[in-house]
Each structure stands twice: as C-alpha cells, then as structure tokens.
Amino acid sequence: MSITNAQLRWVKSLAKKSARVESGRFFAEGVQSLRVLATNQRWLEKVYLTEGFASDNKELVSRISPDLIETVSDEQIDRMADANTPQGVMAICKLPSDQPRITGTPPVYLEQVSDPGNLGTIIRTVDASAAGTLLIGVGSVDAFAPKVVRSSAGSIFNIEIIQNVDSDEVIGELTNLGYKTYAADMGGVSLTAAELEEKHAWVFGNEARGLSSKTLAEVVQVYSIPIFGKAESLNLSVAAGVALYHSAFAQRG
C-alpha cells in the first residue's frame, strides 16, 4: 500500500515538538541512524526508503524486519525530510516510554543547551566516551528534534536520556547518589589538575550564558579548559568532549 498525502504530512509534522509529544513518535534520517536501529529495532515503527537506497544498501536493509519497510519515491522522501539533502531513508521511531535511572560515571547535566547541533554532538560524545546518563535541563532544545537526531549520528539510540530536568534539584540529586559534581566554566581551576578516577558527574551550561550562579555555587569544583592560543573560548560540544574524555581516560587507567 502506497503512502498517502495525509501520511506524508504527518511524518513532516514530526519536525515540530508538539507533534512528537502528541504522537509519541519522532523520525530519524539517514543511513547511519538506520545502521544503529538495525541492531536495536525496539525503537522502530516504520522505515520509508527509496528503491535507490534499497539497491545501494542491500545488506543493511535485509537486517530490518520486512513488515516495517515501505518503499516510497524520491519525491515523497523529499517531502517528508527535514534535511536539505535527504539520503533516501527515514525511520519513524517511538519515543522512550520509561524514565531511565541515573547511572554510570560520569553522568552529564546540560543546563539550558539551545543549539541542536551542539546537543547532537554531545550525545555522540557521551556514547563514544561511555559516559553515564545524559540529563537535559528545562528550557533546552528537545533531544528528539530532527537536527539533534541527525547530529548524534545514531548515538541517540545508544544512551539513556532524561529531559526536562529541574535545575533546582539536579545537583542535590546527583550528590545524594554519591556523585561529586564538577562544572566546566571559564572561571575554574585548570582541568589538567582534575582527579577524575572517583565517581563524579559533569555539569555544562548554556552556549552564551554559561552556568547559572546558583549551579556554580552548588557544585563541588569548577574546572576550566586551558586556552593556549588566541581564541576566547571553546564551543560547548568541544569543551564537553575534552572533559568527558579526560574522565574516560582517568576511569580506564
């Protein structure tokens, strides 16, 4: 059965948070997302793909349950897609229904991250560095927005995420769970002095404003990443990557 215009419009509507919340669904675009989903199909509800994509990716497509696959035209994929250059495949996925627990070291708290590309890159880094649960504060961009999902390169399906975290409570909750809370901020002690072998959590602020004074006052220690050149600062996702890999190296000896 071919996809209807109403279905096309519904898929396109999932670019908006209100439609995602109402339906409990979101979409993931591109071959990398499908590679990850092929190994974790509990997320999947439907996969729309073109004949060209199926022909070029026969082994990958063979790993997807045939009942989930529907072939559409290039023009239909273009109408559904959020990306400027669609790759010929879109997966309709179910939003997580269960609230995960805070686990792993280090869990990561993001206070009002606003850039989708930054959030997607941080999700990818949390996955790559084997960090803990990702906590996303109230007022942040939605983790399941199309650009975030694309920027995560499939890693959004590999990690635990808790959204809409209350900034007034999160540091206390992490402390009660036995984590030492470390913030990354330009006014801190050099990260090179950090001892990260013990159980700890990282806290990162908004791209423009940084962390609130309240959060900075609550954490155990504030660290900064040294700037050796002439740049004033690092991009948030780069700074998070440096800190998380310092933790990963320390945790793994």
Tell me how far CA of residue 207 lies from CA of 193, 225, 226, in angstroms. 24, 15, 17
d(CA 6, CA 23): 15
Task: Inform me whether the pLDDT recorded for 82 exceeds 60.
Answer: yes
The pLDDT, as a whole number, for residue 151 is 97
Residues 67, 171, single domain; the answer is no
pLDDT per residue over 162-188, tens digit each?
999 998 899 999 999 999 999 999 889
pLDDT per residue over 196-246, tens digit each?
999 999 999 999 899 999 999 999 999 999 999 999 989 999 999 999 999
pLDDT per residue over 90-124, tens digit each?
999 999 988 899 999 999 999 999 999 999 999 99
The count of structural domains within the chain is: 2
Residues 144, 238, single domain; the answer is yes
Residues 116, 220, single domain; the answer is yes
The pLDDT, as a whole number, for residue 167 is 87
Q: What is the DSSP string of 190-248?
A: EGGG---SSSEEEEE-BTTTBS-HHHHHHSSEEEE----SS-S---HHHHHHHHHHHHH
The pLDDT, as a whole number, for residue 253 is 72
Residues 211, 128, single domain; the answer is yes
CATH number of the structural domain spanning residue 229:
3.40.1280.10
- Give the domain-ending residue among 94, 122, 140: 94
DSSP state of 136: E
Which residue stretches of the chain are H helix? 5-13, 17-23, 31-38, 51-56, 58-62, 74-80, 116-128, 146-151, 170-176, 213-218, 236-251
CATH number of the structural domain spanning residue 83:
3.30.1330.30
Residues 134, 43, single domain; the answer is no
User: Among 108, 147, 142, 179, which Cα is nearest to 30's?
Assistant: 147
Token pair, residue 174, equals 């992490």
Task: Inform me whether the pLDDT recorded for 142 exceeds 60.
Answer: yes
Entry pTM: 0.95
- Give the domain-ending residue among 94, 122, 138: 94
pLDDT band for position 2 (50/70/90)?
A: confident
Task: Inform me whether the pLDDT recorded for 85 exceeds 80.
Answer: yes
Residue 87, domain extent? 5-94
Residues 151, 116, single domain; the answer is yes
Burial class (CB in 10 A: 0-12, 13-18, 19+), 46: middle
pLDDT per residue over 19-60, tens digit each?
999 999 999 999 999 999 999 999 999 999 999 999 999 999
Residue 100 placed within a domain: no
